[in-house]
Amino acid sequence: MSETGNRLRKLLESPNFDPQNYVKQLSQQSDGDRDLQEHRQKIQTLADETAQNLKKNVYKNYRQFIETAKEISYLESEMYQLSHILTEQKSIMESITQALLSTDKDETSKEMQAAFPKETEDLKQRTLTSLLEKVEGGKNIMDTPGRHLIYNGDLAEYDVDNMSPIQRVHAFLMNDCLLIATWLPNRRGTVKYKYSALYDLESFAVVNVKDNPPMKDMFKILMFPESRIFQAENSKVKKEWLEILDETKKSKVTKDRHKKEEEVPASPARVEVSTNPFDVDDDEPVGAEESVDLSLEWIQELPEDLDVCIAQRDFEGAVDLLDKLNEYLKDQPVTQKVKELRSKVDERVRQLTEVLVFELSPDRSLRGGPKATRRAVSQLIRLGQSTKACELFLKNRAAAVQTAIRQLRIEGATLLYIHKLCNIFFTSVLETAKEFQMDFAGNTGCYSAFVVWSRSAMRMFVDAFSKQVFDSKESLSTAAECVKVAKEHCQQLTEIGLDLTYTLQSLLVKDIKAALLSYKDIIIEATKHRNSEEMWRRMNLMTPEALAKLKDEMRSCGITSFEQYTGDDCWVNLSYTIVAFTKQMMSFLEEGLKLYFPELHMVLLESLYEIILVAVQHVDYSVRCEQDAEKKSFILLNATFLHDTVLPVVERRFEEGVGKPAKMLHDLRKSTRSVRINPESTTSLV
């Protein structure tokens, strides 16, 4: 930029710049319109340069913006997963703390009960007696020995059918029954309630009633064939009633069961001597339990250590502990204590398996490639879950491949997109295969699952490939280049002994066949259109450059003898129709050979046959119908070029590309020889 432009830029960029004063001074200093126009041009140039610099900065940072947005998205996903993990650990720690507190509470209550059993029992009975004195008709309730009060409180009873209030009641929950007493409107002394009903704890069930304002804080007592609904003072009181009722019922059931077991008379043991010499005693030997030493400190703490390892996501440590236990118990007899220990450990194994399965689920972050799954897969295999590990690993990788394909932006030329698609897909498959070989080296039975997964992944790739290449109606040359790129990338998998070429071909054959037939129809329609306007005149390319370019095009098509058909200056002794047909047909042949699969042999051969047939029929018809001798001679020259030069090149190139002779094309060429031999014939040759 000039020195004047730099001064102008500094002036405009200064923080004290005042546009009005600047324009006023400029108007006073200028000699006329010309100076103002020049100054305006300088400002416009500076504005254009500034805009161009802004564009360059935007383009320069555009990719960084995109990558930053992707990283933010990934980070957000991982932060969400981290929050979920922390929430899980918090809930686990809270449950462990609650369990420890409840255990301490139970032990304290047992100690208090053991220390003061008599005082507690007497106190409860005295409390119940003092309360029942306030109930009219409740004198006989205390006749049952051992009965004492658990809980009591005021409730409101409602009608079951129409939910209308009936009366106020006072409920007394005892260790074996529930007493319902109604309020007396006219109190007499200390008596406040009237006996209503007494229910044995085993004769009714308690059901929570869902809140439906204004009816809330209710619970139902079901006694066959009737039921009663009561409303507590608030939700806290209702919760206390439900919990205490449930605990009291369970306590009574447990107490009755123990009482029955104690009442069963123990029959004297009688030793029976078996006379069967082949009888084997299935019971454990008396000294079997003593032979397995489970008093070791690490065995006693094993369940808790496993819980800690799972909570801290120390999967390797958890599996090491399990291996150590299995090694210790390998040759030991299976006693009752061993079974109990096994049941505790099996529960931890189930929890560990669930966590490892979640680690491999597609819901987790798919970043990090196949190596990110190695930790969970290896521990599942050590737990004897190799089949599950294989299934989850392949599902995880399928989700990762699908996500990578979906995130690939469709921008620029189709061939550029296909390069990116092939690079992402085949690199992912190659990395997955290498990781699979490493993780499942000792599980050869899983390799068939990987082959099935590879075919499924290839189907996913072909869907994205075909949608972009064939569904978008790309040219045959573009489609051929894209298929060639896919084949080359597919060959990379042979490094690890995986050949998916046949799978790729079988999945693409339908779309390629449709593309070949469609392009064949386009060529035939274009040839017929040119034939309808054919004047049988020599081509005049006007410039030597155009003639040289045409010679190069024919040479690249394999027509090496094209020089003999060029005349003086820029003339070509062939018609435009024949030259255009030759270029288009040879291009179709080359693209068709790039797309060639053995399954497409007849499709390509028949398409070439139909295309050549259109040109041959046109030449034959023109020879028979033309009356002018000079034009007929020119037509025969074009027929000779088509028969002796073009068709042999097509046959040879087809045989080189396919590896098989084109007998159908050879027979067609033989049937057209009579064009030269008998030019006066009026019989159709084809």
- Give φ, ψ of 543 to 5 degrees: -130, 150
Q: Which two tokens stand for residue 88?
A: 């899980």
pLDDT of residue 109: 56
Tens-place pLDDT, residues 324-361: 888 888 877 888 888 888 888 888 888 888 888 888 77
Q: How many CB atoms lie within 10 A of CB 79?
A: 10
Nearest to 513 by CA among 476, 468, 462: 476
Residue 217 to residues 23, 171, 179, 243, 280: CA-CA distances in angstroms?
81, 16, 20, 14, 63
> Secondary structure of 611-633 in the HEC alphabet?
HHHHHHHHHHHHHHHCCCHHHHH
DSSP 629-667: HHHHHHHHHHHHIIIIIIHHHHHHHHHHHHSS--HHHHH
Q: Which residue has the higher pLDDT, 622 or 282?
A: 622
Query: Of 13-17, 370-374, 375-379, which range is least confident?
Result: 370-374
- Dig out the tokens for 86 from the structure: 């922390």
> Cα 646 to the chain's mean position, in Å?
54
Residue 394 has pLDDT above 80, yes or no: yes
Alpha-helix runs per DSSP H in 264-360: 288-291, 297-300, 302-311, 315-328, 336-359
Residue 630: C-alpha distances to residues 486, 627, 637 (Å): 52, 9, 11
Tokens standing for 650?
């097509």
Task: Check pLDDT > 80 for residue 28.
Answer: no
**pLDDT value at 71 more than 70:** yes
Question: How many CA atoms lie within 13 Å of 153's alpha carbon, on the beta-carbon side?
Answer: 18
Cα torsion angle, 42, 47, 52, 53, sign: positive
Q: How far is CA 428 from CA 42, 71, 619, in A?
A: 55, 20, 55
Residue 639: count of CB within 10 angstroms of its CB: 22
How high is the mean pLDDT of the chain? 79
- The DSSP call for residue 473 is T
pLDDT greater than 50 at residue 437: yes
Dihedral angle of Cα 179, 182, 186, 192, to the nearest 10 degrees: 30
Say what the pLDDT of residue 364 is.
Answer: 66
Q: What is the rounded distance in angstroms from the CA atom of residue 487 to the CA atom of residue 501?
A: 7
pTM: 0.50
Question: CB under 8 Å to 235, separation ≥6 — which residues?
Answer: 216, 217
| Angstrom distances, CA of residue 538 to CA of 76, 568, 576 | 71, 12, 7
Tokens of 272: 């029976």
Q: Taking residues 115-140, what's their average pLDDT?
A: 65
For 132-136, 163-167, 611-615, 637-641, which range has the lowest pLDDT when averaged over its residues? Answer: 132-136
**Closest C-alpha to 208, from 191, 220, 192:** 220
Q: Which residues of 647-670 are buried (b: 16+ CB within 10 A; e: fewer)?
A: bebbbebbeeebeeebeebeebbe
Query: Residue 558, by phi and psi: left (phi above 0), alpha (psi -120 to 50) or beta?
Result: left
* Per-residue buried b or exposed e for 287-314, using 16+ beta carbons within 10 Å of the residue's own CB: ebeeebebeeeebeebeebbbebbeeee
**Phi, psi dihedrals of residue 150, rounded to the nearest 5°:** -105, -45
Q: CB 125: neighbour CB atoms within 10 A?
A: 16
Tokens linked to 333: 């007899």
Sheet with strand 135-136: strands edge to edge: 135-136, 191-200, 177-188, 165-174, 149-158, 226-231, 218-223, 205-209
Position 171 confidence tier, pLDDT thresholds 50, 70, 90: very high
Which stretch of 32-36, 197-201, 355-359 has the lowest confidence by average pLDDT? Answer: 32-36
Tell me the three state secondary structure of residue 21.
helix
Task: Check residue 212 and report its DSSP letter.
Answer: B
Measure the CA–CA gap between 65 and 71, rounded to whole angstroms: 10
Over residues 504-512, mean pLDDT: 87
Query: Which residues are paired to 178 by β-bridges?
Result: 173, 199
Residue 348, judged by CB atoms within 10 A of its CB (0-12, 13-18, 19+), counts as: buried
Q: What CA–CA distance (Å, rounded) separates 485 from 418? A: 8
Could you give the domains of the chain? 1-72 (no CATH), 134-260 (2.30.29.30), 297-467 (1.20.58.1210), 508-677 (1.10.357)
Strand 191-200 vs strand 135-136: parallel, antiparallel, or unpaired? parallel
Report the alpha-carbon distance of residue 623 to residue 675 in Å, rounded: 8
Is the pLDDT score of 485 beyond 80? yes
Q: Is the pLDDT of residue 33 over 80?
A: no
Mean pLDDT of 271-280: 43
| Tokens matching residue 206 | 């308690």
Highest mean pLDDT among 78-87, 184-193, 539-548: 539-548
Write the DSSP symbol of residue 596: -
* Type of residue found at 175: N
More confident residue, 496 or 286: 496
- Residue 559 backbone zone (phi > 0: left; psi -120 to 50: alpha; other: beta): beta
Give me the pLDDT at residue 630, please.
Answer: 84
Long-range contacts of 425-430 (CB under 8 A, 24+ apart): 425/401, 425/457, 425/461, 425/489, 426/489, 426/490, 426/492, 426/493, 428/397, 428/400, 428/401, 428/404, 429/401, 429/454, 429/457, 429/493, 429/498, 430/492, 430/493, 430/495, 430/496
> Is the backbone peptide bond immediately before 362 cis, with ω within 30 degrees of 0?
no
Structural Rg of the chain based on CA atoms: 47
pLDDT at 120: 53
Percent of the chain topping pLDDT 90: 2
Predicted local distance difference test score (pLDDT) of residue 282? 43
Over range 46-58, report the average pLDDT: 81
* pLDDT grade for 266, boundaries at 50, 70 and 90: very low
pLDDT at 675 over 70: no
Distance from the first to the final alpha carbon of the chain: 74
For 150-170, write each residue's pLDDT tens digit.
889 999 999 888 888 889 999
pLDDT greater at residue 73 or residue 673: 73
User: Cα(672)–Cα(623) distance, rounded to whole angstroms?
Assistant: 12
H helix intervals, 440-475: 447-469
179's enclosing H/E stretch is: strand 177-188
**What phi and psi values does residue 193 have, to the nearest 5 degrees?**
-125, 165
Concatenate the DSSP letters of all residues of 362-425 into one string: TTS--TT-GGGGHHHHHHHHHTT-HHHHHHHHHHHHHHHHHHHHHHS---S-HHHHHHHHHHHH
Nearest-angstrom CA–CA distance, 416 and 302: 58
